[in-house]
Amino acid sequence: MFRREYLAPKSVKTRVASSFLLVALLVIAAAFQCMQPKFLTLNNVMNLLGTSSIIGILALGNMILMAAGEMSFAIGAQCTMCGAIFGRFLFSAESNNMLLALLLTTAVSAAVGLLLALCTVKIGVPTFVCTLAVATIMDGCSQLINSGTTLYSSDWPKNFQIMNVRVGGVVPVAFIVFAALALLVHIIYEKTSFGRHLFSVGSNPTAADNCGISVPWMRVTAFVLSSVFMGFGGMVAASYNNSVSLTMGSELMLPAIAATVLSATFMQIGKYNVPGVVISAILMIVIQNGVISAGYPIYVKDIVQGILLTVAVAMIAIIKEDGLPTVKLES
Amino acid sequence: MEMKRMSSASFLSKYWLLLFTVGVILAFGAISPEFLSLTNLTNILSGAGIHGVMAIGLTCIFATGELDFSAGSQVSLACCLIAVLISKTSMNNYFLGILIVVAAMIGIGCYNSFLHVKIGIPAFIATLGSNYIFGGLAKAATNSQNIYNLSMASEVFTFLGQGYLFGVIPMPLVVLVIVAAVILFYTEYIRAGKYLYSVGSNPKACEYVGIDARSQKLMAFVISTVCCGLAGILEGSQMNQASPTYGANMFVPALTAVFLGATFGRIGVFNVPGTIVGAILYAVVNRGLLMITSELWLKYWIQGSMLLAALIIVVLIKKKDGN
């Protein structure tokens, strides 16, 4: 079905709609540049890219899950908890092995993914509410690990802030990590049979099952993979901010979901895709940073982001009949 | 004999949530006797009333199989709107304020359903966008600040949230009972209301028998936003202040109540009585844990594992019944 769409010449309307996100990014960035001449300096652009990589990594993980037709409410809690575990492990001067901390946090996040998969795929609890419950438990864990406040230690190893380091004094490491992960996910998602199976499970589970794809297995993999990404996002955020606050993840959750949803309006309409995730993650941060640096009150950011999201998806919904993938709510 | 045992088992599986709630209340009462005092119980019901009103609204939209992400910001918006109307404008008629807020909420419901029904954006995506917009508007109305001491502007302001009917029954509970009765009557005894559920359970079949799913969804969106608006008014009135962050904190409790509710009575179906029991259970656990321990993490753990356990039990019951 998608093969045919690629070959068929795209109509003008579709072309315009599918590049809306990029145009919006350029227009909005230019507008902020007019209001605040320092907006597009190299330093600030790199700052933007660095900040957007946290949302971007979370959105990549969320994309894997949403591509498989599931939706998680636990993104934020997972991100906070993994950041907290990472920070707590390195808390004292004696334990300063970053690699070990990375492995431990990744293992924990994979275990969370397995737990979610056990509850939803094996037992059959509806995903949305199951992730809600697990998110509450994980919030408790973060509270416990953080002792109820923002986690910070002066004994953290020097490399703790590695994500904030600029390679060659220009590009923040966080963005390089994000770009590498994005490339990896892009290749897996678009070029391998695994990625195609993932997409087919999400778009039509019955057909996928009839084709001999193991739907439960794909869902389990999606849960574990996306959880690992959330864990990674948490670690990058902890390192980038040089602290772990209790609301770190919950503030990032809605932008991450929004970035995933927006990605389905870019280039390949109706299919979540990695280039779309990258562009929308940057777009969300450009709006946030631009509104603040131009001196507007913060609510302008919310309204602009909301209008942008609505307009982008409305355009797609009007052009295409079955334009956007949806999530069915079960009880 | 066999049949009777079957029916008692199914009774248990149907109404265990209520029994569980009573059990939890007694357990908290055993641990700290003040828990069972009249003031404490009415306080719990007063809190449950506010979350319950919001959750009943969400029940209606969930019944149609759609998700309203913007519920939290609708609560904030209603709360901020009435606070601004009372304190910042020359109008100090509280009841006129309520009417204006309800009218605004109807408009918001229409906007959401316009995006979903007319333009065709999946509801959860459309409301994700509106969540940002309404949240932004709420912050814009109050300039991102809290508005304090609203009873100064209008004496009746705190009545709905803090007042008591006949000196004992908290007003939020009265509002909850009224809202629940209206919605229950609508969804159970009026044909148009029953369609809400049919649209959720089988949209294709609805199309074949000539039920217009779109008008049902419009109705559900409007009911949901009006209920959220009422919850916002109640919350502002109870706290005697307004903040654009109230809604975000109420969204998860309300969702929990709705999903717990789906494990009560008609199992697997979002239903109004279940939602009320769910809201009360949530308030009881919240309050009880607050009295016993000050450890926040323990509270989160118990809330989360309770919800998870409830869900797993229900799924297992359903599986057993199915076989």
CB B83 within 8 A of CB B246: no
pLDDT, tens digit, 9 for 90 and up, residues B34-48: 888 888 888 888 889
What per-residue confidence (pLDDT) applies to A236?
92
What pLDDT sits at residue B148? 82
B304 with A310: Cβ contact below 8 A: no
Out of A71, A144, A325, closest to residue B297 by CB: A144
Q: Is the pLDDT of residue B2 over 60?
A: no
Cβ neighbours, 10 Å, residue B82: 28
pLDDT at B78: 93
The pLDDT of residue A206:
87
Predicted local confidence at residue B32, as pLDDT: 85
Does any CB of chain A come closer than 8 Å to the CB of residue B220? no
Give CA–CA dist B320/B323, Å, rounded: 5
Instruction: Find where tokens 């199989």 sit.
Output: B65
Q: With 0-12 CB in 10 A as exposed, 13-18 as middle and 19+ as buried, what is B62?
A: buried
Is the Cβ of B98 closer than 8 Å to some Cβ of chain A?
no
**Rounded to whole angstroms, what are the CA distances from A36 to A45, A298, A302, B87, B173?**
13, 16, 19, 35, 52
Across the interface, do B312 and A119 touch by the CB < 8 Å criterion?
A: yes
Residue A327 pLDDT grade (very low, low, confident, very high; cuts 50, 70, 90):
low
Which comes out higher in pLDDT, residue B268 or A67?
A: A67
What integer best gives the mean pLDDT of chain A?
87
- For the entire predicted model, the pTM comes to 0.88
Indicate yes or no: CB of A132 within 8 angstroms of CB of B259: yes
What average pLDDT does this structure show over B284-295?
84
C-alpha span between B39 and B41 (Å, rounded): 6
User: Is the pLDDT score of B13 beyond 80?
Assistant: no
Q: Is A147 on the interface with B (CB under 8 A)?
A: no
Give yes or no for residue B110 having a pLDDT over 70. Answer: yes
- Given this model, what pLDDT does residue A1 score? 43
- The reply to whether residue B119 touches residue A314, judged by beta carbons under 8 angstroms, is yes
Secondary structure E strands in B181-275: none
Give A260-275 pLDDT, tens digit per residue: 988 888 877 778 889 9
Angle at A244 between CA A239 and CA A48, to 5 degrees: 50
Taking the Cβ of residue B235 and every Cβ of chain A, the question of whether any pair is shorter than 8 Å is answered with: no
Cα gap A289→A312, rounded to integer Å: 20
A18 pLDDT higher than 90: no
The secondary structure element, H or E, covering residue A36 is none
Tokens of B180: 């629940």
User: What average pLDDT score do residues A156-161 get?
Assistant: 82
Whether A125 sits inside 8 A of B312 (CB atoms) is yes
On chain B, the residues whose CB falls within 8 A of the CB of A124 are 315, 319
Structure tokens at A190: 């678009």
**B100 vs B321, residue with greater confidence:** B100
pLDDT at B154: 72
Q: Say whether B129 and A257 touch across the interface (CB within 8 A).
A: no
Is the CB of residue B140 less than 8 Å away from at least one CB of chain A? yes
Q: Can you give the pLDDT at residue B55?
A: 93
Average pLDDT value for residue range A290-303: 88
The verdict on ipTM greater than 0.90 is: no
- Distance, in Å, from the CA atom of B90 to the CA atom of A155, rounded to the nearest integer, reads 57
With an 8 Å Cβ cutoff, are B300 and A136 in contact?
A: yes
In order of A177, B215, B216, the CA distances from B111 in angstroms are 40, 13, 15
Nearest to A133 among B269, B270, B307 (CB): B307
Q: Which residue of B has its CA nearest to A311?
A: B129
> What percent of chain A is modeled with pLDDT above 90?
36
Answer whether residue B323 shows pLDDT above 70.
no
What is the distance between the terminal CA atoms of chain A, rounded to a whole angstrom?
Answer: 32
Nearest chain B Cα to A316, which residue?
A: B121
pLDDT for B108 equals: 93
**Number of inter-chain CB pairs under 8 A, A vs B:** 154
Looking at chain B from residue 268 to 297, which residues have their Cβ under 8 Å from any Cβ of chain A?
268-270, 296-297
pLDDT of residue B1: 42
| Confidence (pLDDT) at A321 | 62
pLDDT at A10: 65
A323 interface with B at CB cutoff 8 Å: yes
Instruction: Say whether residue B45 is in contact with chain A using an 8 A CB cutoff.
Output: no
Q: Do A258 and B128 touch (CB under 8 A)?
A: yes
Residue A85, pLDDT > 50, answer yes
Q: Per-residue pLDDT for B303 more than 50?
A: yes
pLDDT band (50, 70, 90) for residue B322: low
CB contact under 8 A, B137 and A130: no
Does residue B294 register a pLDDT over 70? yes
Chain A residues with CB-CB distance to B126 below 8 A: 310, 313
> What confidence category does residue A114 fall into, taking pLDDT thresholds of 50, 70 and 90?
very high
Question: Is the pLDDT confidence value at A222 over 80?
Answer: yes
Name the pLDDT band for B260 (thresholds 50, 70, 90).
confident
pLDDT reported for residue A315: 84
For A60, the 3-state DSSP assignment is helix
- Side-chain-side CA neighbours of A19 within 13 Å: the count stands at 9
Q: Which of B300, B302, B317 would best serve as a mutation to test chain A binding (most A beta carbons within 10 A)?
A: B300
Query: Distance between CA A120 and CA A137 in Å, rounded?
Result: 16
Where do we find the tokens 């438990």? Answer: A137
Give the residue-averaged pLDDT of B262-267. Answer: 79
Q: What is the mean pLDDT of residues A229-248?
A: 91
